[in-house]
Structure formats: structure tokens, C-alpha cells
Amino acid sequence: MTAPIERFDQLDLQAPILAALAEIGYETPSPIQAACIPHLLAGHDILGEAQTGTGKTAAFALPALDRVDISKRNPQVLVLAPTRELAIQVAEAFQRYASKMPGFHVLPIYGGQSMVVQLRQLQRGAHVIVGTPGRVMDHIERKSLNLDNLSTLVLDEADEMLRMGFIDDVEWILQHLPAERQTALFSATMPDAIRRVAHRYLRDPKEVKIKAATATVSTIHQRFLQIAGPHKLDALTRILEVEDDFDAAIVFVRTKTATVELAEKLEARGYAAACLNGDMTQQLRERVIEQLKNKTLDIVVATDVAARGIDVPRVSHVINYDIPYDTEAYVHRIGRTGRAGRAGNAILFVAPRETHLLRQIERATRQPIELLKLPSREAVADKRVAAFRQQVAEVLEAEDLGFFLDVIAGMEAQHDAEIHEIAAALAFLAQKDRPLQMPETGRPDIAQLASGKPEARPPREAREPRENRGEILERRRDYAEGRLARYRIDVGREHMASPKDIVGAIANEAGIESRFIGQINLFENYSTVELPADLPNEIIQILRRARVRQQALNLRLASPEEAARERGRPGPGGRGAPPKKPFRKEGGFDRPGGDFKPRKPRV
């Protein structure tokens, strides 16, 4: 029986790597590191299954660094990551672990960054490339990324690449790499599609599965608040005021539009807030994260994909303003706090009709989520008064108030006022922009509305059936059976849009699963897409505002002329022309030719 590995110096790593780990403060390998590093050092392929935040990066980065030949300035390690943020985070980790290896160079490459800059950096040479699948494909096709001497390939967060529709991109890259290489695949879950890729491209891999006691970090205090949509903003600001250990927060919403709207509303209420979404340039995204790190921002409102890979130690709270439909997304979200043993807080807003999603999350994480009691107006007022008193006490303790004492004495004589009356007037002025007392609205306090107790509903047999119940059920059947209609969107080839961009925007913004998205045809200045025939008006409004390549979709039903053009015959308004090549969505990747084949729903 092999003795357990309790220290990094028990691993057969080079001295410079061990010195860097000691300087960082790493002492004991995490379970996945202790399990994977010996296998990788021995040259085996790895199929690793572990949740986010378990130390996967060091598990593959340390043995990969151990095999790097610094004297050769060509890529020897390639790491594929699903998002730009994760690619940057992994590249930074490689740089830290190699800090005692003079001449080492790691290069992150991802979309949104200047291609010219990347080409110049690649010409200079790099030992490790960390990239997103799309940009790595671009460089391979340009022949600007020479991987002939590649010795190690890592697929990080493979399930996320599958979910985002990149798995075909990944397979294309694998087919263009040297056959003689070591491959490590890491994934939080192991769906069949990932296992098929592993069996096709990994050679007799060693399987490592780290099964945590729970699917979420034990240091994260998880709570939920049952609150209706119109009261969410008030509830959020009230929570931010009363949480004792609040330092910084990431607030998750479902759509890119919502990130902008909520960040603006928080700014209007006096919070240092900013949005983070996929429509922002990479430079802006990096600036927001840097501001969060250096404490010029306290709140970032983000979508799931935009926040992937953020690791900012001061993030004390993750707030799920919109509950995620996917339990894995919930685990990834709250993993932005409570990292590396730090304490963290996760708060989940649940609308009355979303309680089933709460139960799904509890079952998936194998943890009950505690009910959060929203503080009353009186409690918030007490908190504000306590903070005000503390500020006054600190000024009395630390400041020279001689000049101001003279001013107050003059006021006391001039107005024949008591000293405590003058103090009260000054307190009123000081709190004018942020009243110590919450104003009465004449409506019930949202603390009562957010009691966590669903409103009582009459027994089913006592309720009158809705007049349009049959119509509603028919609409649901239409949606479920996939009856599609053709819609027009105002984005096309001239905007550099791809079918993948369109699918991503529709899926992320409107929550429409890809199996309900049919054929997409790209034209010069617009495109058409097949979607469920009876989309609810609120979904249509969301998709009108959604953006692809900085261009609003402005979704609407296609006209008869546009529909006729799709079929390659003249329409009522003039001659039509078929698109150059229709696109087929298959497995999340768009290829020319053929009809739409819906992707099997994930289980």
C-alpha cells in the first residue's frame, strides 16, 4: 500500500518548482494533486473528475512544468480552457509556479485580444500556451501556432466546454496535434460525450475521481431568500447594508442586459458597482476585475460565462440575484467565494414559482440551504445608527476639533440653542443623502413579504379553471413538440457574426435550450433563425434587446418575402435568392450544409 503524500517535497518535482511552492506558501497537496501528480510525472494520461476549487490547476501545471525544457522556445504544453478568464487564471498560475525557472514563458491566447499582439508574442516563443478553443483553432489554421514539439495537452473543465458548444472545436484541435503526447482531461462531471472523447484520444488513462463530502465548499455559508421579482433590488441593498462581514460581492444575473441595468441601479443607490458580460471588450473586463481586486469596486454584476475563472480573495459574498436553471452553474457561481479555505457567503434569491429549482440545488449539493430572514426597516435603521455612532466616536478619538468647538460655541450663543439641539441639526445634515431612518412607504415591509412562507393557495378543486387554460396547454405542447417558426434578426455576415454567436446569445439571454433552436441562415446584413412558434412576449422582448457582436438582434417574425428567399423562390415582393450555404447545428458546432439536427437534451 502506497504511503499517503502529505508534503510537496515528497513528490519528485524539480527543486525550482518546490522552491516556488514554498515561497507561495503551499505545504500539503490537495487530494487531486496527491492523486494526479505522480501519475503525470510517470508519463500516464489522466482522466480526472473533481469539482471546481479543488486545486486542479496545480495538479496538471506542476508536472507539466517539470517536463518543460527551458532551452527550447517552442510550445511544449497546451492547455485548453472554456473561457478567457479561466485561461488568464491558469496562465497566471503557471507563471507563479515557474517563478524560480529563469527564462520560462507562458502565453494566454483568447478571443477579444488583438490578433496582431498574439502573433508577435507567438513569434517570440513560449513554453506553455493556455487558450480558448476558438482562438487556438485560428492560430493552428494560420500556422502561427506550431505544436509539432507538443509533449503535454490539458483539457480543463471539459464539461463546461461541452456545455458551451466547444466540444467539436476541441476534437478538431486534438486531430491536429502530435499523436505522441501526454493528455490530461479534467472535468467536474463526466457526461457520456466527455467519456467518448477521453476513450478516443487518451491512451490507457489513469482515472482519478475526487468525491467531496458535498458538492459545494463547506466554508461557504449558503442561504436563500424567497422574494418576488419587483422587490429584489430593495432586498439586495438591504442585505448589503446589514451583512457584518461584507467586503465585496459578485451578483449573478441571467442576461447581459440585466448586468448593465442592475449595476446602474446599484450605482444610483451609492454603491461602487460595475457590470461584467460577454459584450464588453477584454480590456474592459480585465479592468473591472482589477478594480475589484484593488478595492475601487465593491460589487460586480455578472453573467455565468463572464465570471468564470474570477479568483479575487476579497469576494466575501456571491448573490444569485437570478436563480440558475442548472445546478452545476450554481456550484460554479458560489465557488467564486470561500476559495482555498476562506470563509464565504452565498445568498440565493428564489421567486415563489422557483422553489422547485431550490429543491433541485439542495439535492444536487446534498446540503440544505438555510432560510435568510430579511431584516426589517427598524433593523436596518439600527444598523445605520450604529455605524453613524461609530464614525462619530472615531472622529472624537482621532481628530483635533478645537476650531469646530469654537464654531459650535458661536452658534450656541447666536441662536440661544442647546448644544444637543445643534448636534441633532448637524446629524440631520450629515445623514441627509443617506437617511438613518428608512422612509415609510405605506406598503408592507418587504421583510414581511420575504418570509419564506409561500402564500396559501385554495385547494385545486376550489379554484376556478382559467378561461384560456386550453390555449396555455396547447402553447406548452407546441413548445415541447418543437413546432418552429422562422424569425429575423438584424445581425449578419457584415457584423462578423457566426451561428455559434447567435445560438449563444439566444440560449444565454432567453434561457432557450439549444434543442429548441433550429436552422440558422446568415445573410449579408441580417439572419434568420428557427425558434418555437409561440414564444412568450417577454422572451421576444429580451431577444429584441440582446446583442451579438455589439449589434441588437431586434428579433421579429420573418416576412413572407424573407421566408420565400429561404426556400430559394421569388416572394411576393420580388426575387429571392437562397443563402450561399445553410448551416447545420450539430453537437454545438456549426458546419456548412444539411438540415438542423437537434442536440440530445442533457441529463
Regarding whether 259 and 188 lie in a shared domain, the answer is no
Handedness of CA 301, 226, 230, 511 (dihedral sign): positive
d(CA 490, CA 548): 9
User: Has residue 405 been placed in a domain?
Assistant: no
Three-state SS for 319?
strand
- Domain housing 256: 220-377
| Closest to 471 measured CA to CA, from 547, 542, 534, 391 | 534
Residue 156 makes CB contacts below 8 A (sequence gap 6+) with 56, 57, 60, 79, 80, 81, 82, 86, 90, 186
Handedness of CA 22, 24, 29, 35 (dihedral sign): negative
**pLDDT tens per residue across span 206-241:** 999 876 544 556 678 999 998 887 789 988 988 888
Query: Mean pLDDT throughout 394-409?
Result: 78
> C-alpha cell of 292?
475589484
Regarding whether 126 and 260 lie in a shared domain, the answer is no
Handedness of CA 287, 289, 291, 294 (dihedral sign): negative
Task: Using the 3D structure, point to which of 324, 355, 377 is the last residue of a domain.
Answer: 377
Beta strands per DSSP E along 289-351: 299-302, 315-320, 344-350
Regarding whether 71 and 120 lie in a shared domain, the answer is yes
For strand 315-320 and strand 344-350, is the pairing parallel, antiparallel, or unpaired? parallel
Higher pLDDT, 278 or 122: 122
**Residue 591: is its pLDDT beyond 70?**
no
Higher pLDDT, 13 or 588: 13
Length of the chain: 603
CATH, residue 166: 3.40.50.300
Regarding whether 15 and 105 lie in a shared domain, the answer is yes
**pLDDT tens per residue across span 335-378:** 888 865 678 899 999 988 788 788 878 877 778 899 988 877 67
| Closest to 300 measured CA to CA, from 331, 262, 338 | 262
Average pLDDT, the chain: 79
For the entire predicted model, the pTM comes to 0.46
Regarding whether 256 and 335 lie in a shared domain, the answer is yes
Query: Mean pLDDT throughout 77-102?
Result: 90
User: Has residue 428 been placed in a domain?
Assistant: no
- Report the pLDDT value the prediction gives residue 457, as an integer from 0 to 100: 40
**pLDDT tens per residue across span 527-562:** 999 888 878 888 888 898 888 887 889 999 988 776
- Report the pLDDT value the prediction gives residue 418, as an integer from 0 to 100: 78
Beta bridge partners of 107: 129
CATH, residue 579: 3.30.70.330
Q: In the chain, how many H helices and how many E strands?
A: 23, 22
Considering only CA atoms, give the Rg of the chain. 28
Using the structure block, give the residue that is written with the C-alpha cell 405542447.
477
- Report the pLDDT value the prediction gives residue 181, as an integer from 0 to 100: 93
Task: Using the 3D structure, point to which of 351, 377, 403 is the last residue of a domain.
Answer: 377
**pLDDT tens per residue across span 290-319:** 999 999 999 999 988 777 768 888 899 999
- Count the domains in the chain: 3
d(CA 323, CA 329): 10
Beta strands per DSSP E along 73-196: 77-80, 106-109, 128-131, 152-155, 182-187
User: Has residue 40 been placed in a domain?
Assistant: yes
Regarding whether 113 and 169 lie in a shared domain, the answer is yes
User: Has residue 408 been placed in a domain?
Assistant: no
Beta bridge partners of 348: 224, 320
For the chain, what percent of residues have pLDDT higher than 70? 79
Q: Which helix (H) or strand (E) holds 171?
A: helix 167-175
> C-alpha cell of 23?
515561497
Q: Of the given ranges (5-9, 370-374, 489-493, 531-535), which has the lowest mean pLDDT?
A: 5-9
Regarding whether 162 and 42 lie in a shared domain, the answer is yes
Regarding whether 256 and 134 lie in a shared domain, the answer is no
**Residue 456: is its pLDDT beyond 50?**
no
C-alpha distances out from residue 322 to 224, 252, 307, 452, Å: 12, 6, 14, 16
Regarding whether 268 and 185 lie in a shared domain, the answer is no
- Report the pLDDT value the prediction gives residue 211, as an integer from 0 to 100: 67
- Report the pLDDT value the prediction gives residue 129, as an integer from 0 to 100: 96
Three-state SS for 498?
coil
**Residue 513: is its pLDDT beyond 90?**
no
